[in-house]
C-alpha cells in the first residue's frame, strides 16, 4: 500500500497514518524500512522538498498491531506533542479481539508490570516486586460478540507500558487473538495480532483545537463500531 493511502490526517505540523500489521514505526535491529523513513521519503517526493525532511516519532505501536500512529512534521510540534504524552493529555483507545469473554462487561485494570528485556515480554508481578515494576492502568468494555464466538473489546489506555494491553488482557484470562507470546493458542495467518489503535485524541499543539483521529475497525464481522466515548472535534479539523 502506498503511504498516501494510509494517511488519516495531515496538516502543516502533523501527519497520522493507519499503520498496517507488520510495519515498524521506528528503525530497529531488524534493519527493515520503518514508517518514519517512509513518511520522510513520501513528503520529500510529494512536496518537492530540498534537503532533509523532518519526521518525529511521537508514539509507537508494536509491529503486529495496526491503527493510528502520528508523526510530527516540525521540531516544535514534536516537542509540544511529547509534552502532551508526558502529561497524559494524549488519549488512546484500542480495539481488541479475544476468544474468552471478560469476567465483567466492563472493568478497570491496575497491575504492576515488569519488563523482561531478554524475552521482550512484560509480566504482571505481585506486591512484593512493585519497586521494580511500573503501574499499568486501563479501562475496558465489551462492545460486541460475533456469531463465531469472538468478543470485541474497547480499551482506553491510561498509561503506556511495554506490551501493556497484551499483558493485562492475558493476565485477566483474555489473550488477544493471534498473540502467541501472551497465550493465544494459534497465530493469525498474516502474523498480526488482533489489536488495533482505533482512536487518538489530543489538543493540537499549534491551533489548540481538539483533534480526534479514527482508524476504522478492520473486523467487519462485528458490524458498526460505536464512536469512542470522548468529545468530538469540529468538522473543520477533519482532513
Output the nine-digit C-alpha cell for 185: 493458542
What separation, in Å, do the N-terminal and C-terminal C-alpha atoms of the chain show? 20
The rounded distance, in Å, linking the Cα atoms of 161 and 167 is 10
- Those residues with Cβ within 8 angstroms of residue 70's Cβ, 6 or more apart along the chain or in another chain: 9, 14, 15, 16, 17, 58, 59, 81, 200, 213
Which residue in the list 2, 11, 28, 62 is annotated as catalytic? 62
For this structure, is 62 an active site residue? Answer: yes
Residue 111, helix vs strand vs coil: strand
The rounded distance, in Å, linking the Cα atoms of 220 and 139 is 23
Which positions are catalytic? Answer: 62
Amino acid at each position: 500500500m502506498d503511504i498516501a493511502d494510509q494517511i488519516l490526517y495531515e496538516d502543516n505540523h502533523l501527519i497520522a497514518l493507519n499503520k498496517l500489521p507488520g510495519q515498524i514505526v521506528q528503525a530497529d535491529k531488524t534493519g527493515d524500512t520503518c514508517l518514519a523513513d517512509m513518511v520522510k521519503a513520501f513528503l520529500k517526493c510529494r512536496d518537492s522538498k530540498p534537503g532533509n525532511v523532518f519526521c518525529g516519532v511521537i508514539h509507537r505501536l508494536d509491529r503486529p498491531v495496526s491503527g493510528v500512529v502520528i508523526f510530527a512534521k516540525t521540531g516544535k510540534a514534536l516537542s509540544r506533542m511529547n509534552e502532551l504524552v508526558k502529561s497524559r493529555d494524549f488519549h488512546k483507545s484500542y480495539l481488541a479481539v479475544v476468544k474468552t469473554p471478560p469476567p465483567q462487561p466492563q472493568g478497570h485494570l491496575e497491575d504492576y508490570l515488569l519488563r523482561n528485556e531478554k524475552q521482550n515480554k512484560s509480566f504482571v508481578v505481585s506486591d512484593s516486586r512493585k519497586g521494580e515494576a511500573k503501574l499499568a492502568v486501563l479501562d475496558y468494555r465489551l462492545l460486541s460478540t460475533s456469531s463465531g464466538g469472538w468478543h470485541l473489546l474497547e480499551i482506553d489506555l491510561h498509561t503506556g507500558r511495554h506490551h501493556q494491553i497484551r499483558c493485562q488482557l492475558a493476565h485477566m484470562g483474555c489473550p488477544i487473538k493471534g498473540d502467541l507470546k501472551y497465550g493465544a493458542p494459534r497465530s493469525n495467518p498474516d502474523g498480526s495480532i488482533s489489536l488495533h489503535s482505533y482512536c487518538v485524541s489530543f489538543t493540537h499543539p499549534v491551533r489548540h483545537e481538539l483533534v480526534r483521529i479514527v482508524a476504522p475497525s478492520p473486523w467487519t464481522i462485528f458490524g458498526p463500531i460505536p464512536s469512542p466515548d470522548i468529545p468530538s472535534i469540529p468538522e473543520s479539523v477533519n482532513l
